[in-house]
Amino acid sequence: MSVTYIDAIHQALDELLAEDPAVFLLGEDIAGKFGGAFKATKGLDAKYPGRVMNAPIAEDAIAGVGIGAALGGMKPILEMQFADFGTLALNQTGNNAGAHFYRTGMPVNITLRMPCGGTPGGGPYHSQSLEALFAHYPGLHVFTPATVADAYYMLKQAVQIPDPVVFLEHKFLYRWLKADTWVDPNPLPIGQARIARPGQHATVVTFSAMVPEALRAAEELAATSGYELEVVDLRSVKPLDVETILDSVARTARLLVVSEDFPWGGVAAEVVAQVSAHGFHLLDAPPLRLSAQDTPIPAHPDLWKAHRPSAASIADAARYLISL
């Protein structure tokens, strides 16, 4: 029997509530029969009375309550129904939670779960990938799990970190991504990237839902052209594991960075900047970025597919890079 990405998140939440009385959940429609917009918390309010609580549609207030509870010794896990509307809590998240330890020496242990990324029909207000926006703030960790096991382990690790964590769960992966189990006998520590596929002709650095796309592109190129792509799954964009990226580029001498985010000021640009600054001598060709289009995200399924990188566009970009 397989388990899904959202099964792993539900299991992690269940265990966190069972293991630590300081943990509680707060979010929009997460309690009761609804169990959250994507059912990640379904049934948990009955199992843990008084610790799974509905909040008004007021993201700034949700974050503010979480910060206050954390300063009182609690470990709140806050659910923003969509990452797009997490922007309404930027003042609390970035200016208050992110800077609080620096200003006072008191940590703010909050975990903000945010369903992110696009799905067919999502449109411009329910599809954005805003990891770079949150990573811009000092003091915030930004996690972007791309596997069932990472969805489970990284959520549990997030709650153990005394700093605020923005935990970005890609909606497309919720029920599409499956595995035999969420158990990993050797889970990686926070801040360490994963070599999802070894290769020798080019490095593809990516994260979240672009990891499966990159892996499919790598399989296609291996079958049709004989090129072997090394796929690096960042796992978190902050902290960013520059060392693993540089080690991979040292093996392949070429870099393609793939992101579902908009191109301007994104994680892909930061990775290229880091490699250009610290590993320029390793490159045999200019580094390339492949991101979403610089337009609002369309709702029509065909336009949505054309807006974001795909296995086919990644393969095309890698083929071009290797030809240089």
Of 179-183, 200-204, 256-260, 319-323, the one with minimum mean pLDDT is 179-183
261-303 pLDDT, tens per residue?
Answer: 999 999 999 999 999 999 999 999 999 999 999 999 999 999 9
Confidence of residue 161 (pLDDT cuts 50, 70, 90): very high
Please tell me the predicted confidence (pLDDT) of residue 70: 98
Decide if pLDDT at 218 tops 90: yes
The structure tokens listed for 34 are 């609804």
DSSP 139-192: T-EEE---SHHHHHHHHHHHHHSSS-EEEEEETTHHHH-EES-S--SSPPPTT-
Of 318, 319, 295, which Cα lies nearest the Cα of 307?
A: 295
Number of H helices, E strands in the chain: 13, 14
Decide if pLDDT at 1 tops 90: no
Is residue 126 part of the annotated active site? The answer reads yes
The Cα 270–Cα 79 span in angstroms is 27
Return the number of other C-beta atoms located less than 10 Å from residue 18's C-beta: 11
Q: Distances in Å between the alpha carbon of 311 and those of 128, 209, 210, 321? A: 19, 11, 9, 15
Please report which helix (H) or strand (E) contains residue 3, including its range: strand 3-4
pTM score over 0.95: yes
Q: Are 305 and 292 in contact (CB under 8 A)?
A: no
Q: Which of 126, 141, 170, 201 is catalytic?
A: 126
The Cα 8–Cα 277 span in angstroms is 38
Of 182, 188, 189, 155, which Cα lies nearest the Cα of 169?
A: 155
**Structural domains in the chain?**
3-179 (3.40.50.970), 194-323 (3.40.50.920)
17-76 pLDDT, tens per residue?
Answer: 999 999 999 999 999 989 999 999 999 999 999 999 999 999 999 999 999 999 999 999
72-120 pLDDT, tens per residue?
Answer: 999 999 999 999 999 999 999 999 999 999 999 999 999 999 999 999 9
242-252 vs 267-278: helix axis angle to the nearest 10? Answer: 70
High-pLDDT (> 70) share of the chain, %: 100
Question: CA Rg, the chain, in Å?
Answer: 19
The Cα 113–Cα 170 span in angstroms is 11
The Cα 249–Cα 278 span in angstroms is 11
Residue type, 169: E
